[in-house]
Amino acid sequence: MSILVTGSAGFIGYHTAKRLIKSNKEVIGLDNFSSYYDKSLKESRWKILEKSPNFNGIKSDISNLKNIKDIFLKFKPKKVIHMAAQAGVRDGYKYPQMYTQSNLVGMINILDCCKAADVNQLIYASSSAVYGNSEKLPYSENDHIGLPLSLYAATKQSNEAMAYSFSSLYSIPITALRLFTVYGPWGRPDMAIYNFTSSILNEKEILLYDKGRMKRDFTFINDTVEGIIKSINPNPKTQELSPPYNVFNIGAGKPIEIINLIKILEQELNKKAILKFKDSHFGEMKSTWSDITKIKNETSYTPKTSLEEGIKIFVSWFKDYYQI
């Protein structure tokens, strides 16, 4: 049985595909190699996946319906792990069409193809950003989500509405994963830990909003992938739901202020950060904090990597990758 992993040259998609290959699964990898960040990083990830005979990589765009239909017809995947998306909370207002094409048109194309191919499960990446302006912490899947604070968040909320309707109309088992600030080796350069590490080592100024008091629930990539894998059916709970639609938070459940994150990085790098403080950036959530009770109870998911340990692993990879 083949599994389609979209966004497999991206950070989370790459690690997910790699884990599936290690489990001797046949993986169809799909990515458009967008220029949102350094393509060489994506190409390096892709080359690692291509070393396995269980990986079949295809360069295409999920917003191109004809191409996606052809891929489904040719490979007939029975499970789809949809990680492809235009990421980044802060850039949505600059490039709204780009976010719309990837996150809305791309999502509806995946849903439509899953329906036509009669897949037995779709798992897709939602985001902690869907909780928006909700003030109830920690965030639980059982709570009403707030209004979106960014275009990115709006597209992810829309994804959840679209996916629920397809599950309801066509009885497609679908699982939404609300991912909380993922970090680790092979990460995205625009994300905090990657960006801060690079800035500290290169003695560049770090811009901190709200005096560094914003909190994020940083989740190590291995723990995130473990949650994704554990979300794959058979999951009797999901199958019994009507419609067969489920939602899980995947996080560490341990938020930390950004200013304290900087201190951990300084200690690990043995170097002080150059900080500049600014008022809050519009579109940013003040805090993210995952309640992971549900996924623990239904799948036995348990995050294992502390932030200190995860940063140590990331810094080691970073120095090796950039030959520092």
Average confidence (pLDDT) per 10 residues, the chain, 324 residues: 95 98 97 92 98 97 97 97 86 79 96 96 97 92 89 95 97 96 97 97 94 95 98 66 92 98 98 91 83 95 98 98 94
Distances (CA, A) of 232 to 92, 180, 190: 30, 19, 29
Q: What is the DSSP letter of 17?
A: H
At 249, is the secondary structure helix, strand, or coil?
strand
User: What tokens were used for 98?
Assistant: 């780009």
Q: State residue 235's pLDDT score.
A: 55
Model confidence, pTM: 0.95
Known catalytic residues are 152
Q: State residue 96's pLDDT score.
A: 84
Cβ–Cβ < 8 Å for 127, 152: yes
Cβ–Cβ < 8 Å for 241, 298: no
Cβ–Cβ < 8 Å for 256, 288: no
- φ/ψ (deg, to 5) at 318: -60, -45
Q: What is the DSSP letter of 56?
A: E
Q: State residue 252's pLDDT score.
A: 98
Q: State residue 239's pLDDT score.
A: 57
For residues 89 and 69, what is the distance between their CA atoms, to the nearest angstrom?
29
Helix (H) or strand (E) holding 107: helix 106-117
For residues 83 and 192, what is the distance between their CA atoms, to the nearest angstrom?
20
Residue whose pair of structure tokens reads 């350069």 in the numeric block: 189
Is residue 253 left, alpha or beta, with left meaning phi > 0 and alpha meaning psi from -120 to 50? left
Residue whose pair of structure tokens reads 């140590």 in the numeric block: 312
Residue whose pair of structure tokens reads 């940013």 in the numeric block: 284
For residues 204 and 135, what is the distance between their CA atoms, to the nearest angstrom?
34
Distances (CA, A) of 257 to 74, 208, 211, 261, 286: 48, 11, 10, 6, 10
* Alpha-carbon torsion angle 287, 95, 144, 252, nearest 10: -40
Superfamily of domain 2-181+221-252+289-305: NAD(P)-binding Rossmann-like Domain (3.40.50.720)
Q: State residue 234's pLDDT score.
A: 59
